[in-house]
Amino acid sequence: MHLLKQFSFSKRFPEIEVVGSAFAGKQDDLIPLSFGFPAPESLPVDKMTAATEAAMNTQGRQALAYSGGTGPKNILNWIKERSKLREIEATEKEIIVTAGSSQAIDLITRTLTDPGDEIWVEAPTFFGALKTFRLAETNLLSFPIDEHGLRVDLVEQELIQRVKNNLPLPKLMYIIPNYQNPGGVNLSIERRKRLAELAYEYNFFIIEDDAYVELSFNKNYTPAIYSFGPERVIYLSTFSKIIAPGLRLGWAIGLKEIIEKMQILKIDGLTSVYVQEVTKNLLEQIDMDEQINNLNSIYLSRKNAMVSAIKQHFGEDVSFHEPQGGFFLWLTFPDDIDTSEFVDAAMLAGVSYIAGKHFFLQNEGYNHMRLCFTFCEEEIIQEAIKRLAKTYYEHVNSKQMIEEAN
């Protein structure tokens, strides 16, 4: 038997905390309000089966080869045409199809930054993006959001001070403009325009992560930030939220020079040409507007069920911005509450959520939690909130008893 010697992992790995409750899935009675999953019944299983059969019958060997059949070209054209709804005009050479939008974030980061460069983000923001930026060894700075999205005025103030004091400027600004993850807010059109102007003035790029744009309950669509600054914005979106996350198909739209560099770094070549072939066939079968309307009908009902249950079981003890689209509701507790302290208790009670601290750079956000309203049916959501409230009040009472005893 060989004696194993010690070995070391790459120094690229920073200390990143695993998001605990989000990975809990084996408890039989667990109601998952943690990760952002679509409604299971919304997944087009029958049509996907037919699309897969068509891929083999019509493209067969080509679809299984490295360069694929007709799928990749057709997907590019679909993205180009669909993007016009966001007031985005792009050529095929300005689009790259990726393995989900998360791969696009990684490719952009590695294309435009070196270790030590500045990336600025919202607070709170998507923890997956934070993980990517940390692995790239960049320096991160965050700016708060309000009911109108990112506080662009604070970004501008920081840029002015950086220039005045001869300090580094950002290479990238990462933003989720529609139904922000986790805040659920939308960036106002005035702030979109101003942020694009600042990107030109101070020569940084904006990563516009627009995964939730189609999921608008009131069908109000604001032009993409990209439409105000195409030379300084890289626009991302995905099929994950409108068809199925298992496809792992997303895309990025940006300057041809940037897309070319991203393609060089994308060592896996073309993104699953077979999956693109199947997706192309599916898109030919379905009415996308009808698909979106169906999703929004389901998600609006489930969001309303969650809002109603929170008001019933928490009353005035919590607050939240009621989102008009997307996947998530961002719950705010009193300042002295740390939601990470009762994650495990909630799991034992049969409900999971993501504690607020995971969405921030600094030691903040402890009195928040993110809840997903899209996966579970209404009555299950109501039961989950009931369990969550019971867990919370037991936690509060326990804290009070300990404080009184001391």
pLDDT in tens, 91-137: 999 999 999 999 999 999 999 999 999 999 999 999 999 999 999 99
Closest among 252, 241, 242 to 283, alpha carbons compared: 242
d(CA 29, CA 20): 17
Is residue 24 scored above 70 in pLDDT? no
Token output for 394: 């037991």
Give the per-residue pLDDT at 123.
97
Give the per-residue pLDDT at 362.
85
Domain 21-44+289-405 has CATH 1.20.120.80: no
**Segment 345-374 mean pLDDT:** 96
pTM of the model: 0.94
Give the per-residue pLDDT at 20.
46
Token output for 185: 């807010």
Give first-to-last CA distance, the chain, whole Å: 56
pLDDT in tens, 41-54: 999 999 999 999 98
Do 352 and 24 contact (CB within 8 A), yes or no? yes
d(CA 8, CA 217): 50
Q: Residue 27: pLDDT band by 50, 70, 90 thresholds?
A: low
Give the per-residue pLDDT at 247.
94
Give the per-residue pLDDT at 297.
97
Average per-residue pLDDT in the chain?
Answer: 93
**Segment 55-67 mean pLDDT:** 87
**Segment 257-276 mean pLDDT:** 95
Query: What are the residues facing 149 on neighbouring strands?
Result: 146
Is residue 32 scored above 60 in pLDDT? yes
Do 344 and 108 contact (CB within 8 A), yes or no? no
Give the per-residue pLDDT at 19.
66
Give the per-residue pLDDT at 1.
62
Is residue 148 scored above 80 in pLDDT? yes
Give the per-residue pLDDT at 341.
96
Do 213 and 221 contact (CB within 8 A), yes or no? yes
Instruction: State the amino acid at position 144 in one-letter form.
Output: P
d(CA 328, CA 375): 11
d(CA 50, CA 23): 32
Token output for 99: 């393995």
Do 332 and 318 contact (CB within 8 A), yes or no? yes
**Segment 297-311 mean pLDDT:** 98
* DSSP line for 217-247: TT---PPPGGGG-TTTEEEEEESTTTT-GGG
pLDDT in tens, 174-233: 999 999 999 999 999 999 999 999 999 999 999 999 999 999 999 989 999 999 999 999
Is residue 319 scored above 80 in pLDDT? yes
Q: What are the sequence ranges of the domains in the chain?
A: 21-44+289-405, 55-285
- Name the least confident of 6-10, 166-170, 398-402: 398-402
- Name the least confident of 60-64, 310-314, 382-386: 60-64
CATH of 55-285 among 3.90.228.20, 3.40.640.10, 2.30.30.90, 3.40.50.2000: 3.40.640.10
d(CA 250, CA 252): 7
How many residues appear in the chain? 406
Query: What is the β-pairing status of strands 139-146 and 118-123?
Result: parallel
Is residue 163 scored above 70 in pLDDT? yes
Do 142 and 361 contact (CB within 8 A), yes or no? yes
Give the per-residue pLDDT at 18.
65
Phi, psi for 88 (deg, rounded to 5): -110, 125
